[in-house]
Amino acid sequence: MHSKNTKHLEWLKPDNTANFCTMVTTKKFAHIFRLSVELEEEIDPVVLDNALQVVLKRIPSFALKLRYGLFWNYLELAKDKPEVEEDVRNPMVRRSWKLNKHFLFRVRYFGKRISLEVFHALADGTGGMTFMMTLVAEYLHQKYGYEIEESRWILNPDEEPKPEEYEDSYSKVARRQKFKRKSPKAYQAKGSKENEGYLNIVTGHMPVEAVKAKSKEYNCTVTAFLTAVLMDAFQDIQEKEKKRKIRQMPIVINIPVDLRKFYPSKTVSNFFANINIGLDRALGHYSFSEIVEQVKHGMALNITEKRLNNLIAGNIASYQLKVYKVIPMFIKKPFVILGNYMGGEIKSTCTMSNLGNMVLPPKMSEYVKGIQAVAGKNFGRVTSCMGVSYLDTMSVTFTRKIKEAEIERLFYTKLVEMGIPVEIESNQA
């Protein structure tokens, strides 16, 4: 994101991801994700609200509302104060920003849990987790006198905001280059559409050491291992399809990559790129070991600075075309939505996002019992998967907009069959 005044943040030009997210948002759909932290004691909503106001001053890029221009959308500083609210059984439902004082995030609480729901135009998973953990640290400070310690995930609430924390890192690192993006349609699982406004959320909690041990057995990373298990689950479902053409469609898993690992960025806004790892099903059935090898080589090929920069450059170039800049929003918005579906949504089967291992300061860990990450509903794909590890537990969550739970059932069952115990949690009755 870019600000005309970095000392006193008043408005921001959306970064590449934010621009995309605001363009494809409709009355029924918006890119939203959710992060939850469970503490040892019941949440005090008054203290939580006070902590939120403090953290918003430290991370003002979250205190923004979406404004619609004739040619471009932009983000403007909201003058009101957001309010924390009680959690609901069916979270992340798209609703008018007006009902939230135009803020693009929500802070919710229930029992011992604090949850943050974020519109992707504000931040990616890393930025969202930074806001969340800074909020939790400030809450613990006000409630128990906890002395806040800065870390990878926690900013000092007493410091002034820094311009580099809400910069547009995409534009800063992108190089001008040619890019190619031709790829076939990916296999899409089908099912009975869930009731409007309802999203199925199923989480599997498992020992992180067991997952690491099994990943080591296959000589791959945890993300590669989980992606392979997910591909194998989709392969089982696909092989039941009646049409041969559908049975041979590639299974493609979309994996978000944190670009902060490749560039020295401190932004709390968006800074990630999506890579697609595919399984060519026209070649026949794959054993699990073969799937792991496909994923490993696919990740090794695509997760490099040059490949990722090519993706960044391609995304930015799309919005820098002169003709694109002079077309009114009401004309280009439908084409962007269609382009997202045809060029993005149907080119992958599912998303596997792994935020990795959350390491908090030792004193703070005494208060924090668990952490969970939940991906929002996709425009086209029926399900998404998101994982995070904390202490000795890894939590992998599926969000699904169809009634059938076959995908996650197969995924968790395969883990159990490999010797990894899984405890299931769901928002279903």
Same domain, 138 and 18: yes
Same domain, 275 and 395: yes
176 inside domain? no
Contact assessment for residue 185 and residue 347, using Cβ atoms and an 8 Å cutoff: yes
Same domain, 128 and 236: no
Same domain, 25 and 88: yes
62 inside domain? yes
271 inside domain? yes
Same domain, 294 and 411: yes
Same domain, 128 and 250: no
| Rounded CA separation 354/220 (Å) | 14
Same domain, 211 and 279: yes
**What does DSSP say about strands 383-390 and 64-68: parallel, antiparallel, or unpaired?**
unpaired
Same domain, 138 and 233: no
Per-residue pLDDT of the chain (429 residues; tens, 9 = 90+): 434 344 456 776 777 788 778 777 777 777 899 999 999 999 999 999 999 999 999 999 999 988 877 777 878 888 889 999 999 988 888 777 778 888 999 999 999 999 999 999 999 999 999 999 999 999 999 999 999 999 999 999 999 999 899 889 998 999 877 666 677 899 999 999 988 778 999 999 999 999 999 999 999 999 999 999 999 999 999 999 999 999 999 999 999 999 999 999 999 999 999 999 999 999 999 999 999 999 999 999 999 999 999 999 888 877 666 666 778 777 777 777 666 666 667 889 999 999 999 999 999 999 999 999 999 887 778 999 999 999 999 999 999 999 999 999 999 999 999 999 999 999 986
- Residue 75 β-bridge partners: 12, 66
Placement of tokens 């221009």 in the chain: 69
CA 405 to chain CA centroid, Å, is: 21
Same domain, 257 and 400: yes
Here the CATH number for the domain that contains residue 56 is 3.30.559.10
Q: Which of 159, 180, 212 is the last residue of a domain?
A: 159
Q: Phi/psi zone of residue 327: left (φ > 0), alpha (ψ -120 to 50 degrees), beta? A: beta
415 inside domain? yes
Same domain, 118 and 249: no
Same domain, 236 and 316: yes
Triad 313, 317, 323: Cα angle to 5°: 180
Here the CATH number for the domain that contains residue 384 is 3.30.559.30
Classify the C-alpha dihedral 45-50-51-55 as positive or negative: positive
Element (H, E) at 77: strand 73-77
Token reading at 206: 């498992």
Q: Mind giving me the DSSP string for 243-281? A: SHHHHTSPEEEEEEEEGGGTS----SS--EEEEEEEE-G
What total number of domains does the chain contain? 2
Nearby residues of 369 by Cβ (< 8 Å), 6 or more positions away: 38, 39, 40, 112
Contact assessment for residue 276 and residue 308, using Cβ atoms and an 8 Å cutoff: no
381 inside domain? yes
Same domain, 139 and 37: yes
Q: Which of 103, 132, 159 is the last residue of a domain?
A: 159
Q: Which residue segment(s) compose the domain that 37 sits in?
A: 2-159
| Rounded CA separation 22/8 (Å) | 24
Contact assessment for residue 31 and residue 120, using Cβ atoms and an 8 Å cutoff: yes
| Rounded CA separation 252/275 (Å) | 10
129 inside domain? yes
Q: Which of 132, 134, 140 is nearest to 155 (CA)?
A: 134
187 inside domain? no
12 inside domain? yes
Q: Which of 94, 128, 159 is the last residue of a domain?
A: 159
Contact assessment for residue 232 and residue 223, using Cβ atoms and an 8 Å cutoff: no
Amino acid, single-letter form, for residue 248: Q
Q: Which of 154, 33, 160 is nearest to 92 (CA)?
A: 33
